[in-house]
């Protein structure tokens, strides 16, 4: 396996790897048809075997405090994407990508990473295993059809919402127990050295 910098010509392989990696997670519907370009500098790495991209990590980082990350002191990096192709999962590829990214981050005087993810237990366990700490959370709630009744209002004539995605930052999440799809969105933070 080779871990190297992402190149523009990797885009289709990057997209395919990310889609397949996210397919059986709580982020299954977060599909991209082009790779993001970041406003700030970034560390963008891919893992490849025989020319196939099998893993990726994208970290946008700060050159001025609090411009990318939402917490912490000093310069941080936000992990926007980390994914491993399912045919290559549980082989240390994500950990390898993270270690290379940490070395690059230290060279750039970053002191921490921040990552937001949803509540898949295996994902949460991976972040904990990599020495990240859960520091904050809120809920992603998807309302479909009748789940919007008495919750979502509309003031536009002849507009009929059929679904709504919302962030809930309150304490009374039990009021949404009848909603089929809700996820805790958690922030992990790791200080690097």
Q: What is the mean pLDDT of residues 148-161?
A: 92
Residue 34 lies in a domain: yes
Residue 158 lies in a domain: no
The pLDDT tens digits of the residues spanning 25-71 come to 999 999 999 999 999 999 999 999 999 999 999 999 999 999 999 98
Instruction: State the pLDDT at residue 80.
Output: 98
**Distance between CA atoms of 126 and 79, rounded to whole angstroms?**
14
Instruction: State the pLDDT at residue 193.
Output: 79
Q: What is the CATH number of the domain that holds 30?
A: 3.40.630.30
| Neighbour-count burial of 129, counting CB atoms closer than 10 A to its CB (0-12 exposed, 13-18 middle, 19+ buried) | exposed
Residue 174 lies in a domain: no
The answer on pLDDT for 72 being more than 90 is no
Residue 79 lies in a domain: yes
Residue 35 lies in a domain: yes
Q: How many domains does the chain have?
A: 1
In DSSP terms, 47 is beta-bridged to 3, 55
Q: Which domain holds residue 87?
A: 2-116
The answer on pLDDT for 105 being more than 90 is yes
The pLDDT tens digits of the residues spanning 4-17 come to 999 999 999 999 99
Helix, strand, coil percent content, the chain, rounded in steps of 5: 25, 35, 40
Q: What is the mean pLDDT of residues 113-136?
A: 96
For the whole model, what pTM was predicted? 0.93
Residue 161 lies in a domain: no
Instruction: State the pLDDT at residue 71.
Output: 85
């Amino acid at each position: 396996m080779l871990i190297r910098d992402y190149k523009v010509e990797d885009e289709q392989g990057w997209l395919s790897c990310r889609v397949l990696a996210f397919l059986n997670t709580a982020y299954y519907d977060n599909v991209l048809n082009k790779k993001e370009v970041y406003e700030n500098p970034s560390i963008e790495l891919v893992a490849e075997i025989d020319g196939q991209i099998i893993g990726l990590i994208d970290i946008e980082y700060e050159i001025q405090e609090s411009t990318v990350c939402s917490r912490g002191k000093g310069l941080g990096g936000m992990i926007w994407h980390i994914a491993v192709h399912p045919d290559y999962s549980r082989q240390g590829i994500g950990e390898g990508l993270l270690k290379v990214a940490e070395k690059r981050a230290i060279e750039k005087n970053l002191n921490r990473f921040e990552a937001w993810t949803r509540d898949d237990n295996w994902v949460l366990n991976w972040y904990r295993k990599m020495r990240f700490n859960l520091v904050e959370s809120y809920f992603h709630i998807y309302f479909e059809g009748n789940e919007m009744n008495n919750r979502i209002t509309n003031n536009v004539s002849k507009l009929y919402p059929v679904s709504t995605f919302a962030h809930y930052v309150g304490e009374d999440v039990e009021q949404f127990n009848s909603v089929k799809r809700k996820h805790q969105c958690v922030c992990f933070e790791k200080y690097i050295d």
